[in-house]
A and B are shown apart, each in its own frame.
Chain A
């Protein structure tokens, strides 16, 4: 076809322990929005980083406007006409909008002086073409996230990009900002730009994309024309197996309530949250990125300060704890980001496992290495962790094994409540199902379990009860047969009426 701008064929990329992409092929046409979908860890972000020159593929070819290209760096990608718009924006907050648009390619005269007039005029032209409501001289750091994103998109305009890749662009945007972004995408589209659009939000995908390619476990499951498919079809391609057989839900044997929070409020993050969880119960917390789920559990665990609310622990109201007190009470939080929040990467497994319980593994302040070794050995066997020994720095391990160490460090002190925030993000399928089985086993052993996930099949598969969270509020509660994909989607994508009303008032 002549209007294909970008085509990739046979891309393979392997990381130690994980095959991230296996023989991936797909193409993007001029003036099309092409969605790239898949669960976390399916290979979307790896593919996009290959296209942007951040990763070098092990095999495969990339063809741009009928010419094979080798993309060795983001700079080369930009020169060839491919622009990636990350979730983490690639901007210098202290520089002006104009300077950011042309970062690394500023017009200068022979003396190395900046041609500010040209820089400004060019930038203004790019901004105007996109209909931006801010000028080229504003300092980027003072702009909202949505406007900062527009600055990145203006780069595409300025460098005449052929292909623009959006990675979860609406993750931290309000509804109004999202509309503006879609209008901008429409403009790019009508200018003949090929757009790759990565998002977890099904409603967006069906609204703005022309075709959908689904990845699973690093392989392309197929490409569909958006108009000819539906939610169920895409979901089936993404998950690729029967939910019921894949997930193992814990036997229902609920005992006493372990944790209840009432009216929990944090001024800027969430408000009026009520939730409770019983021993033996798995409570799912579903919501989009940025809905305030992680912040909520971090507040319960004492990592953030609560502005209002009550905390009832095993039937008794207690003041909000410090993290230390939370651990001592018997709470455990397996955080979202294991590399940043979960592990001290330079330490070995032994030291990571005992880190929350130094007092328990010591006497008179002196660490008892023998017992540390014992608990390390115990959990290495229980969780089947692949490591060369207790002192091997955990940074050398695969994501799945790292996550098992994070679990081990919380399980070894026999907590009453375990909160798992995105427990299977970015790990391979084998480890995933091991962790799902573990969740069921923990509940059957009498722990109260809260699972936060943005993977719908996961949250549907493991939970007894599901709360949905939207913009800092609990927007729905589902049990039994009420727990369906459609119900959750409806609950999290309700327009935030209340917020709109407040704006008017």
Chain B
């Protein structure tokens, strides 16, 4: 009898520990629904999703890298480069080839990061910190520090496809999240990504090719950053050289808030989607309430620290039980 209840308590704590993000999200949605009549409308929620999609796509890639036990600080800069190439190359080679080159730049930079991490044994924090600085430099060299403007504004109509309240951008984000959730759960690469992040020595002893997985995941991360950049360029019709600045930090915040472990081995795309949505709901809700934007920044910071603290408390309680 006692054993049964204690086991149940254990599972609840375990569930909370693993899914606290959905609790946060539900709480945020409930609060803002009550506070603002405009919040819980189909249109607004569609908007939330679209706004969240850009960092969301970055976060999908970041989740792959983080579960693998690494980090990628260069995603914001990669996004900016892809967006600049996708717009800047259009007059010379046409719209879709330019988009393709933009995409390839992300793939190449991701592969470069991954290769450097795998071959050198340097921590990815340092490698991608270098990348963040250097790739931003590339963006500035390419754009000459000017915002690039698209010539044919038909380009900005491309993402104007809706399925109900869902924009194409939002759909791409959700589709990518679903795709990579599938990769994580159902492919060998995905499962070995967990194995490497979880216990690298055990993975190595079992003959798992650690370097290959790392290179693949950094490449995925770079490619997704490029996709986010291209979508952003379509939405704005311009490519700002400063686009995506400190987005890498927001991305990391969203992924960690979702519950994916910074040290690797644990996490999922659904958690990341939860983290992204929570951040987006907070942001959107606070704006609907006309709070000044500093409140938003303070709330986000506090929520993150709270989440970290909660995680610690739950983990401690679980350890004691």
Residues of A within 8 A of B (CB): 73-75, 78, 90-95, 99, 103-106, 108, 111-114, 116, 142
Contacts and interface: CB of A to CB of B under 8 A. Distances in A.
Contacts of B207: 73-75, 78, 104-105
Contacts of B202: 90-92, 103
Interface centre among B194, B195, B208 (most CB of A within 10 A): B195
Contact of A99 (B14, B187, B195): B195
Given A92-B194, A92-B198, A99-B195, A114 B186 contact: yes
B2 to A, nearest CB: 12
5 contacts: A75-B205, A78-B206, A94-B265, A95-B191, A104-B195
Closest 5 CB pairs of A and B: A104-B206, A75-B207, A74-B205, A92-B198, A103-B206
Contacts of A73: 205, 207
Interface in B159-179: none
A373 to B, nearest CB: 35
A94 B198 contact: yes
B203 A113 contact: no
B179 to A, nearest CB: 13
A215 B274 CA distance: 57
Interface centre among B186, B198, B202, B266 (most CB of A within 10 A): B202
A95 B184 CA distance: 12
B191 A99 contact: yes
Contacts of A142: 14
B30 to A, nearest CB: 31
Given A74-B205, A74-B206, A93 B187 contact: no
Nearest to A108: B188
A73 B203 CA distance: 12
Determine chain A's interface SS by DSSP, over half rule. Answer: loop
B201 interface: yes
B194 A94 contact: yes
Given A75-B205, A104-B203, 17 more contacts: A74-B206, A75-B207, A78-B206, A78-B207, A90-B205, A90-B206, A91-B202, A92-B198, A93-B198, A93-B199, A95-B191, A95-B194, A103-B206, A103-B208, A104-B206, A108-B187, A108-B188
Contact of B191 (A78, A90, A111, A114): A114
B189 interface: yes
Interface in B51-72: none
A95 B190 CA distance: 11
Interface centre among A78, A91, A95, A108 (most CB of B within 10 A): A95
B188 A106 contact: yes
A99 B199 CA distance: 13
Contacts of B14: 142
B211 to A, nearest CB: 14
A104 B192 CA distance: 8
A104 B194 CA distance: 12
A82 to B, nearest CB: 12
A262 B170 CA distance: 66
A104 B198 contact: no
B202 to A, nearest CB: 4
Given A74-B205, A74-B206, A105-B206, A113 B187 contact: yes
Contacts of B206: 74-75, 78, 90, 103-105
B260 to A, nearest CB: 11
B186 A95 contact: no
Contacts of A108: 187-188
A313 B99 CA distance: 76
Given A108-B188, A112-B187, A103 B265 contact: no
Contacts of B203: 92, 103-104
Contacts of A95: 191, 194-195, 198
Nearest to A155: B206
A207 B207 CA distance: 36
A113 B188 CA distance: 6
A143 to B, nearest CB: 13
A105 B188 CA distance: 9
A307 B191 CA distance: 42
A139 to B, nearest CB: 10
Interface in B234-274: 265-266
B94 to A, nearest CB: 33
A92 B265 contact: yes
A113 B186 contact: yes
B188 A94 contact: no
A92 B263 CA distance: 13
A164 to B, nearest CB: 15
A473 B14 CA distance: 32
B208 A104 contact: yes
A102 to B, nearest CB: 9
A334 to B, nearest CB: 28
Contacts of A78: 206-207
Given A92-B199, A94-B265, A116 B186 contact: yes
Interface centre among B188, B192, B208, B266 (most CB of A within 10 A): B188
Nearest to A77: B205
A103 B203 CA distance: 7
A73 B209 CA distance: 13
Contacts of B187: 108, 111-114
A74 B194 CA distance: 20
Contacts of A91: 199, 202
Nearest to A90: B202
A104 B14 CA distance: 28
A93 B194 CA distance: 10
A90 B207 CA distance: 12
A103 B208 CA distance: 8
A92 B198 CA distance: 6
A113 B182 CA distance: 10
A90 to B, nearest CB: 4
Contacts of A99: 191, 195
